[in-house]
Chain A
Amino acid sequence: MPLLENGRLVEDTWHYAIEGEPLGNGDVIVPPERLSEGLGRTAGRLGVALPNGEPASSLKAALPKLSLVVVTFPIFRDGRAFSQARALREHLHFTGQIRAAGHVLPDQYEFLIRCGVNTVEVAENADLSVWTRNLKQFDVAMQPSPVLDEKPTGFALRRLLNRAG
């Protein structure tokens, strides 16, 4: 699946663990049930796919050893993943990659980034120009991001959105 970072396609070095098969040595994303198996490996980086209903704090103990957390949108209308990503950054101080997977719309791209997500899995046939456009749609936001240190601009709670890409 194509992977977007800052509005650009990037190479995806990660793969999802396959049920019933060993994890191997590469960068692997496991479900929480296989966390200890993943932590027991000696080579390759480890990521976890956080199920939608789980609180981010369920990863607290493992988090220092994780390089990536996937937050999932079963449907784009289900906004819990925004809060999960925000909590990972804000409360658990996670500095690794947070990836959004599942049914996400380009119209949500800015929200994702402002909640601490840095990569997004997009559909195979996605029109990337729509994603880039959405990233540059707005110059300011009307409230501080819970996790990014965006510059205040003008007055009130406004923040300057300074988009690369």
Chain B
Amino acid sequence: MSTETMTRAEAAPATLPVGHYGYDAVDRAFLRERIEQFRDQVNRRISGELTEEEFKPLRLMNGLYLQLHAYMLRVAVPYGTLDSRQVRALARIAREFDKGYGHFTTRQNIQFNWIRLEDTVAALEVLAEADMHAIQTSGNCIRNVTSDEFAGAAKDELLDPRVHAEILRQWSTLHPEFTFLPRKFKFAISGSPHDRVVARFHDVGLIARPGPHGRPVFEVFVGGGLGRTPIVGVSLRDDLPEEDLIAYVEAVLRVYNEFGRRDNIYKARIKILVQALGADEFRRRVEEEFVAMDRARYRLEPAIVEAIKARFGTPDFAPESNAADVLAQDRSRDAAFDAWVRTNTHEHKVPGYISVVVSLKPAGGIPGDATAEQLDLLADLAEEFSFGELRVTHLQNVVLGHVRQDQLHTVWQRLSQAGLGTANVNFITDIVACPGLDYCALANARSIPIAQKLSSRFADLELQREVGEMRINISGCINACGHHHAAHLGILGVDKRGEEAFQITLGGSGEKDASIGQILGPAMSEDDTVNAVARLIDFYLVRRENGERFLDTYRRVGTAAFKDVVYAPA
């Protein structure tokens, strides 16, 4: 007991970072030990003691991929929350070890695509100085836990899921039993009834809500996923008490580790196991394990949760009483600002505050890319206007969570000056795209150029407003890193007799009404695909009824009519 109190008191820094867990001396020592281990592994690889086959999973567990032209380093952003100091460290890595930019991913991580093997230890040291790492951002282990980009800010939120995301992060870090799983394993957690984390498309998706005695309960979805076999996850438990959270996910992973297929990497994800056994049999095996295990060992006591929570900084909200009036005046004076506020903000739980989505999708740009200068600016803005906190979204944008409404106009001006003021969030040019054949060794086609063409084609803001909410996602191959299945309009790169070609899928959704997009017809060239998208949009504009989104019209009118638009001879 006394060590516990002491460690906590000793380690408490002057100020804790808002929105994420603040490291203490033990966490920092752990990271240093991990870097030493990796340094040793790199040396053993260079000396030939480790074969490339043996080195590969070890480097992957430190986020290091070998891509087409260079190594790629994927840095973990636990539950998508960063502080200004960390964003500056990322800018430094972009500048010193990459070509001046980084690429935000749909897993709330950031990737650097041009890293040299001999620089990786140095890059990890820069990260460690800012309490960051690349642990378990790839490999067949438990990956970065993703969470809601409006966590702790959204008006519709029931509880901030990031404390439990942090608990899962710590629990899964170098887990002795689950570091050599059949395949990678991804958690997502939300505390809002509006699923903004795509929980049903994860290996385990958790939706938290308040339960009895002031402690949360969780709905547990298992076996969802995209990739080449898109599957919507099944609900395993509706009412998992907090104290059993760790025990229960241990049980799920035990069943997966024992029974998941290892003979075929395309059939190794937990979704395949859940489908093969059936939801009931899978649930039965999990329950059997759960009942048999020593649950006291894994009991997540309220005191543990509270101790972790105590290491999260909380924003000290001090709204100006006239903030809303100032914002209203600014909007009425400045039409461009007003348009941006309409698309790029989200309602905050505290009156006088607002959350801002900064679009990383300028007209004709590369989705998710940010330059070192832009990262530095975002760090400054976060520091000046949002309690030093910045979030990454699964749609490759970033969020300033807590901006005072009377300061919003200034924030917008500063963003606009740096090319970050695009007013297109959730519009047709808010495109998600994977790295594709420009970087990725597995790709069939380039995702980035077609994203840029579509972005230019629909750049006109009037047109975008007219089209309304519209989600386009692009993947360069069936691995679906761009989540094309979960898009209203998905684009999938395929290989058509040695040529790059694209298939269109329609009707997907990653939200509460989760559904998997259906392939419309044969693949087309890049330009034909861009033209086909334009025709589909025209058709929707003609056929839509009172306020329908593209997705709604598609669901009502049906595939055949949309298919004719693309494939029927004129």
Contact = CB atoms under 8 A, between A and B. Distances in A.
A121 interface: no
A138 B33 contact: yes
A13 to B, nearest CB: 28
B178 interface: yes
Contacts of A25: none
B324 interface: no
Interface in A12-44: none
A145 interface: yes
Interface stretch (A1-9, A58-66, A94-102, A104-112): A104-112
A76 B262 CA distance: 12
B353 to A, nearest CB: 30
A59 to B, nearest CB: 15
Interface string B468-496: 00000000000000000000000000000
Interface string B144-179: 000000000000000000000001001111111111
A110 B173 CA distance: 13
B413 interface: no
B171 A157 contact: yes
A74 to B, nearest CB: 9
Nearest to B294: A90
Contacts of A146: 176-177, 250, 293, 297
Contacts, number: 121
A141 to B, nearest CB: 7
Contact of B297 (A105, A138, A144, A153): A144
A133 to B, nearest CB: 7
B170 A143 contact: yes
B159 to A, nearest CB: 19
Contacts of B33: 137-139
A112 B253 CA distance: 17
B273 to A, nearest CB: 13
Given A77-B140, A139-B33, A140-B30, A90 B180 contact: no
Given A133-B40, A143-B171, A155-B8, A115 B176 contact: yes
Interface in A127-150: 127, 130, 133-134, 137-146
B349 interface: no
B3 A153 contact: yes
B49 A107 contact: no
Interface in B449-480: none
Interface string A39-78: 0000000000000000100000000000000000000111
Given A78-B180, A108-B180, 8 more contacts: A82-B178, A91-B292, A105-B58, A110-B176, A115-B177, A138-B33, A139-B33, A154-B4
